[in-house]
Amino acid sequence: MISRNKKIGILVFCATVVITFTFYFYQLFFGNNILVGSEKDDYLLIPTGANFETVVDSLKKNDFLHDELSFRFVSKILKYDKNVKPGRYLLTQNANNFATIMYIRSGRQEPVKLTFHNIRLKPDLAGRITKNIEPDSARFLSLIQNPAYVNKYGFDTTTIMCMFLPDTYEVYWTITADELIDRLHDEYKKFWNEERTAKAQELGLTRTQVSILASIVQAETSRSDEKARIAGLYINRLKNNMPLQADPTIVYANGKFDLRRILKVHMEVDSPYNTYKYKGLPPGPINLPNLSSIDAVLNYENHDFIYMCAKEDFSGYHNFASNFRDHLRNARIYQKALNKANIK
């Protein structure tokens, strides 16, 4: 017979083994194993088509893993190694294997905020808008330069920029370029509600033409309280069949966006964007007008001004005139200020 002391010893040994293994497995699942910055959380990016090894490599490359073997073991138990989902996932400080794996296995990725303002050209938009998402700028750019593709949204490759309304949007990192353009088209349709569309019709302009005019207004002033007045001036010129003679369109036509002083040589450029040479609106926007600029056109100030000139104090505001004589006087004052400041 086994003595009483031996029985107690066996029981103690078995209990120790059970406790040891229980503690070990608990540590594998629930011990801290994810290392991120001490001052902030960080993100794990899992590309579309990635497998488990891609995830492990990314965790190692960014020094997110304390113990790779335990992560692999728990992943296999939870079958994550066969169930990888792409996305952008927020990793929190001192997280354990179980919580982290269950989270990234769920596919509940964190959204990305896309913000774009002050854009002139399509390549600039493509680079800015894809900066923090998975698709690259080349794919986005190729789509908005494809005539058949943009036609389905009611635009051509010149006017497609009118569809992108500067703002901040939340999307998932894995959104495709096609899905992103669809999303922004939905936002465009929401903005152009019945009220705004009716106001455009009252002006005798299409929504695209309103955006083109808004882009000129926006380029003319950074002063929000002056936008409606400038819009009214250009609407007066359109109604009187006068050329817009908008200096920002000359800057755009010349492709010299650092021009501060428009000279006669700049006005001679042969471009449909040269509103000194060609009447009416240019064929497309010269920037992405923000929402307030579009609304300034739709709610333009009713007046008789047809001329304007930057104020001599360089405040960003303008002097307005309803006749050429007064305009020449304002222009001479401004030219004198430019010469005095040695601005060429």
Helix axes 207-220, 227-239, angle to 10 degrees: 120
Beta partners for residue 321, in sequence order: 307
pTM of the complete model:
0.87
- CATH architecture of the domain with range 13-106: 2-Layer Sandwich (3.30)
Rounded to the nearest angstrom, the gap between the alpha carbon of residue 276 and the centroid of all alpha carbons in its chain is 32
For the chain, what's the residue count?
344
- Start-end ranges of CATH 3.30.1490.480 in the chain? 13-106
pLDDT class of 222 with cuts at 50, 70, 90? confident
What pLDDT is stored for residue 67 in this prediction? 87
What residues have CB less than 8 Å from 69, skipping those under 6 apart? none
CA distances from 238 to 172, 225, 231, 233, 271 (A): 43, 22, 11, 9, 19
What pLDDT is stored for residue 25 in this prediction? 54
What residues have CB less than 8 Å from 344, skipping those under 6 apart? 260, 261
Give the chain's mean pLDDT.
90
What pLDDT is stored for residue 38 in this prediction? 53
What pLDDT is stored for residue 289 in this prediction? 96
What pLDDT is stored for residue 10 in this prediction? 54
Nearest to 281 by CA among 167, 221, 204: 204
Residue-wise pLDDT tens digits, 125-181: 999 999 999 999 999 999 999 999 999 999 999 999 999 999 999 999 999 999 999
Residue-wise pLDDT tens digits, 2-15: 565 555 555 554 55
pLDDT class of 23 with cuts at 50, 70, 90? very low
Greater model confidence, 13 or 36: 36
